[in-house]
Structure 1
């Protein structure tokens, strides 16, 4: 009996797209699951005689991501308009084109993902495989490797294993049988010491100031919600660390941690998965204003500050979270602080 599903016929559609000597660019928003998945797809492309680079569109500063890249020797390139022009083929893993405006407007050949589908933004490519019931895209790529007879080496196996670990929250979030099988299979091939080195890289010392801000500006939302706006951050990954941390507070079932990065309001949301689906909540609260979505237990929203049209970012978030701004309404209440308009008037 096969350990995974038999995908021989299905994968013919993917392998037919890969021809020798063509140059591929695998686009990602770098996180552990995306890094592991992109390494696996790169291995598949190289096994068919193609060339592939992994291009990321986001800044990478989370210590575990940096440790993963360094320890597992993951080759990465920052995506620029010029690099996109140098490739004939384009793939995307662990994401969909509408998830970020930073993804270049190219025609995709392959899209592999596990995030929820958005009917308003269908993923279009010559080969699309989006498994919304999988806890991690790394599990899907492990299935692909197994079906193609490619045994991952210790670096690739460790990357995929860590991708599954992070996206399933060590199997505390939603997961499938395939995630369990993939984790079991990879555990025998991964390097545990390398994995330990990555896992124990939690956060930068310079991020401690954001903890202080979050404690000072914390607000309760209802009986079980927590909200903190920390202002400008040097990287939005700091918000992810804070959101994961505050979810561990007894009596809280969800949180929203937000800040400003590169003229964007970034809100990271977490829940225990018991009552709220944070992916849906993110769309309800912020979908009309910018990019928003995610999973039941983890979600994110990014809104250009220009879209706030005068609202103070913290007050805007508070009104949305508490239902005091039910519809997109860009008028500013009389007497309410309007720093954006003030800045525009003074420029």
Structure 2
């Protein structure tokens, strides 16, 4: 006898009509609109800005520019921009004007992770990071409970009844999937609803290629370096990679290390230009990784994030040893987690269990963390 089918209700996408109408009113009559994402943008920031661009063009017949600082470092992010033909402008090629309608996407005024000029007025902020936006900003739509900022702007598109083309739907699905690890990390009900809203519209073969890209050999060289450099103690891994090829490298390797069985927290660092890039990952759904990392970097603060992911940067002074800076951060990181900051850190590779003829651990080796 077949078991009765359990009915699962599809989550409903909340309405953002008031925010859409407010934003359109603020943009009315403005000849130039600029969507500025955070430096070294990820798929979530890029897709959210692309959604806003489509919305503004559809409603006001104004074509905003999407601008970013830094570089687009990860191969997956470059593949996304190239495959979906997303027009992006480096801030190096943007001349800001006081009458520009600037909208910050996935970042906020005062955050150290964007290239907004200090004296540039901001018309609106759309973000999902915790923060306090000045009352001088006419519209601040900040929703820390959302796993992806793209979800907020999908609500805008639906409220405004703007059609979603297959390319845009693909960007949306890719962004939400990568930001929430396929809806498994910090995904809210609206994130799930937004994904289900547009998934039938996307180019699914292209989405598959974006989710599983081919990687250049440099990725595996850095991965090898990260694994060899990683040190562990009591479920925590810390790793200093030395000089890295992109500002995303530390985050990329932190994502990989966090998937290792037995690890609960990961902190990965790498030197890019004159900064030590710091990336933190955890499997603890109740963690406050962003707040924890801000405490770890202390006075050299340039950090933020969500519950399970965080990132930041520490300026490295001339003559200062980046390894020493990392070691100091690692001790503070362990202490902040309630671990023994003076505990011996063992090489990650030394903890691999032997593989016998019957599989991992068949020789009776203890292993473990």
Q: Please tell me the TM-score bracket, short chain as reference.
A: 0.7 to 0.9
Between the two proteins, the alignment pairs up a number of residues equal to: 322
Mapped to 2, the partners of 1:9 and 1:217 lie a distance apart of: 50
Distance across 2 between alignment mates of 1:276 and 1:315: 27
Q: Give the aligned partner of residue 116 of structure 1.
A: 130
Q: Distance in 2 between matches of 1:103 and 1:12?
A: 25
Partners of 1:94 and 1:72 in 2: CA distance: 20
Matched, 1:133 2:145: yes
SS of equivalent to 1:16: helix
Deviation at 1:50? 1.7
Matches within 5 A, 1:44-59: 44-47=55-58, 48-59=60-71
Deviations 1:111-151 (A, max 9, x none): 1000112x5x7585221100111111111000000000112
- Which of 113, 122, 133 is the matching residue for 1:100? 113
Q: Look up the SS of the partner of 1:161 in the other structure.
A: helix
Q: Give unpaired runs (5+ residues) of structure 2.
A: 1-10, 337-369
Q: Distance in 2 between matches of 1:20 and 1:187?
A: 34
State the partner residue of 1:334. none
What root-mean-square deviation, in Å, do the aligned CA atoms of Structure 1 and Structure 2 show?
Answer: 2.5
What residue in structure 1 maps to residue 321 of structure 2? 312
Structure 1 residue 5: deviation in Å? 2.7
Q: How far 1:21 sits from its partner (Å)?
A: 6.4
Distance 1:248 1:324, change over 3 A: closer
**Distance of 2:268 and 2:215 partners within structure 1:** 16
Q: Secondary structure at the match of 2:157?
A: helix
Cα displacement string for residues 164-217 of structure 1 (whole angstroms, at most 9, x for unaligned residues): 111111122112111111010011111101111111126431132222322332
CA deviation after TM superposition for structure 1 residue 3, in Å: 4.4
Q: State which structure, 1 or 2, has the greater radius of gyration over its C-alpha atoms.
A: 2
On the 8 A contact 1:27/1:55 being kept in 2, the answer is: yes
Q: Please give the alpha-carbon distance, in whole angstroms, between the structure 2 residues aligned to 1:190 and 1:181.
A: 15
Distance in 2 (CA, whole Å) between partners of 1:176 and 1:206 is 35
Distance 2:100 2:114 in 1: 21
In structure 2, the residue matched to 1:192 is 204
1:34 matched to 2:45: yes
CA-to-aligned-CA distance 1:11-63 (integer Å, 9 cap, x gap): 22111012256111110122110111000110111121222100011211211
Structure 1 unaligned blocks of 5 or more: 328-347
3-state SS in 1 of match to 2:96: helix
Match of 1:341 in 2: none
The 1-side partners of 2:145 and 2:83 are apart by 30
